[in-house]
Structure 1
C-alpha cells in the first residue's frame, strides 16, 4: 500500500517547512504579496500547514479544531479573476518545494504541483462571493490519483 502524499513528503515537519517557504516567497513577490496586505493570523503558517496536511492525507488537525474549509474558501472568494497572482503563487510553491527540502521524487512533485494548481483554482474561483459558499463544505482530500467529487 502506498504511503499518503503527506507521508511521502515527510509528514508534519515537511509540510510546515513547505508552508513557511511558500509564505516567505509570497511575501517577497510584488504581485502575490498583495494577498497578504491586510496581515495574517499570528499562526498563519502553522494553520496553513495543518490545512495542507489534512488535504494530503495527514491528521485531521485543521478540521478537528483549527477551522473549516468553508471559512477558508469564504476568505478567498469574491476577489475576481487574478490569473497573474495565481500563476505566481504556483511558481512560488514549486520553488518552495526545494526550499523546504521536499523529496525530488518526480511522482511526488507532480502530485503536489497538480494539487496546488487545483486547490488554488478551487479556493479562489469556485464561488463568486463569500455568501455563495455553503456552510457544510467538506475539506477536500488529495491522493496520488487526485481527488473525487470536485
Structure 2
C-alpha cells in the first residue's frame, strides 16, 4: 500500500519544517513580504499552516478540529483583487521551501507538491474579486498521489 503524501514527506515534523521554510522565503521575497509580515497575522500562523498542509496531504485532521473548515481558509484570502503575480511567487517559494525543509526529492512526490500548490493558488484566486462569496461549510481538500480526491473527506 502506498503511503500518503503526508507519510512520504515525513509526517508532522516535515510539514512544520516546510511551513517554516516557506514563511521564511515569503518574508525574503520583496513582493510577498508585505502580506506575510503584517501585524494582524495569527501568532501561530506557521503551525496552523503546517497543520493545514499536513491534513490536506493525508495527515491527521488537526487543522479542521482546531481552526475550522476550508471555507474559512478561502475567506481569509478572498476579495483581495488580482493577485496572480503573488500567486506565482507563492508557488515558487513553496517549491523551493521543499528543498530548504529537506523533504524527499523523489520527482513524483515533488510534482504532487507543485501540482497541489498550483491548484490551491488557482482556487484562492477564483475568489479574488471584491464581493465574491465563499460558500460555507466547504470540506478540507484531500490531495493524494494523482491529485485531488473526488470526494473530500467530511
Which band: TM-score by shorter chain? over 0.9
Deviation at 1:149, TM superposition (A): 5.7
Gaps of 5+ in 2: none
Maintained 8 Å contact 2:21/2:100: yes
SS of match in other structure, 2:30: coil
Counterpart in the other structure of 1:50: 51
Maintained 8 Å contact 1:73/1:124: no
Counterpart in the other structure of 2:112: 111
Q: TM-score, normalised by structure 2?
A: 0.90
Query: Any residues of structure 2 matched to 1:1-150 within 5 Å, and which?
Result: 1-39=1-39, 40-126=41-127, 128-129=129-130, 132-147=133-148, 148=150
Maintained 8 Å contact 2:112/2:145: yes
Gaps of 5+ in 1: none
Distance in 1 between residues matched to 2:131 and 2:38, nearest whole Å? 17
Q: TM-score, normalised by structure 1?
A: 0.93
Deviation at 1:36, TM superposition (A): 2.5
SS of match in other structure, 1:50: helix
Maintained 8 Å contact 1:73/1:123: yes
Deviation at 1:133, TM superposition (A): 0.8
SS of match in other structure, 2:144: coil
Structure 1 segments, 4+ long, off by >3 Å, are 126-131
Deviation at 1:82, TM superposition (A): 1.6
